[in-house]
Amino acid sequence: MKYIPFGKTGLRVSQVAFGTGNFGTGWGHGANAEDSATLFNAYVEAGGNFIDTADVYQFGQSEEIVGDLIKGRRENFVLATKFTNGAEPNADRLVTGNSRKSLVASVEASLRRLKTDRIDLYWVHHPDGITPMEEIVRGFDDLARAGKILYAGLSNFPAWRLSRAVTLAELTRAVPIAAAQFQHSLVYREPEVDLFPAAQALGLGIITWSPLGGGVLTGKYRKGEKGRAEGFGGRVFQPENSDQRSRIIDTVLEIATELGTSPDKVAIAWAGTHGAVPLIGPRTLSQFESNIAALSLELSVDHITRLDEVSRIATASPTRAPVAWGHTMPAGKVVA
């Protein structure tokens, strides 16, 4: 696996990040501790060093499992986690949301579960509709000065709020907002209109989640499988509910057949051509082995053009030249 500079930070991260939402069984589905360890170690053996979790994942079990797995090798990883939702099924309103109170309570609880003294990249999981950006930026700065976090990031925030947060941090000389995380796939390209241009102009590291559209791009739901169509309450799933999405899936399957590979590799490889670090979250070892093999898949200019054209969104979408894995748009440095 290659390593790339992450935004304007000095971090060098693996081309693919590992999301641990399936570590644990607190949600009634997922991987037990033993299976999670198998997945984690397979990712490490493949050269991965970017771990992404959250307090809410499996109601805290994910962080606990990750904490056990990084013991004795903590410095080998960029460890990222998130707050907003809390780690309990019915967490109190004072320890959820994005207030400074919730921020402080959440980071201390995550540090205990992760069994570490600081978090490398701390995300706000999503806006709460209440907390102003000034409070979030100041809270991040307090945590950085206290040595609790090294970098701050915003997940699932609109481009205008992302830009405002970066500007506030610059003007107040607070710890910079270093990264943005948002959904992006062949069936969800809307971020290319605003979030990608904003994040790239601001010099942020970018992580994109759900490159498989919740699994729909694998074509498995056409075979009657359920997966995320029902798991997570149907959230983080993009259904095949339009003619265009059917054409997109058809094209992914066609290209996979042409290349003698599986559709998940095609979808993940395409996501890796946008200057972002795609986030994978497999539940089984076979899923991981298939997902990670996307790194060795070379999509031709024709393949990328076909995928771009069939998935083009109705609103104005910027044109782009296809780029290789690990590159930023339009060009970038890959660190071996």
Indicate which residues carry an active-site annotation.
57
What's the full length of the chain, in residues? 336
**Furthest CA-CA distance within the chain:** 54
Separation of alpha carbons 250 and 247, rounded Å: 5
Distance, first Cα to last Cα, the chain = 8
Structure tokens at 159: 């481009």
Separation of alpha carbons 30 and 282, rounded Å: 10
Beta carbons within 10 angstroms of residue 319's beta carbon = 6
Helix (H) / strand (E) containing 19: strand 17-19
Separation of alpha carbons 18 and 40, rounded Å: 8
For residue 83, the cross-strand partners are 124
CB 77 within 8 A of CB 67: no
224 contacts: CB under 8 Å, gap ≥ 6: none
CB 64 within 8 A of CB 87: no
Separation of alpha carbons 69 and 89, rounded Å: 24
Pairing of strands 149-155, 119-124: parallel
Separation of alpha carbons 65 and 73, rounded Å: 14
Q: For residues 243-265, b (16+ Cβ closer than 10 Å) or e, as one string?
A: eebeebbebbbebbeebebbbbb
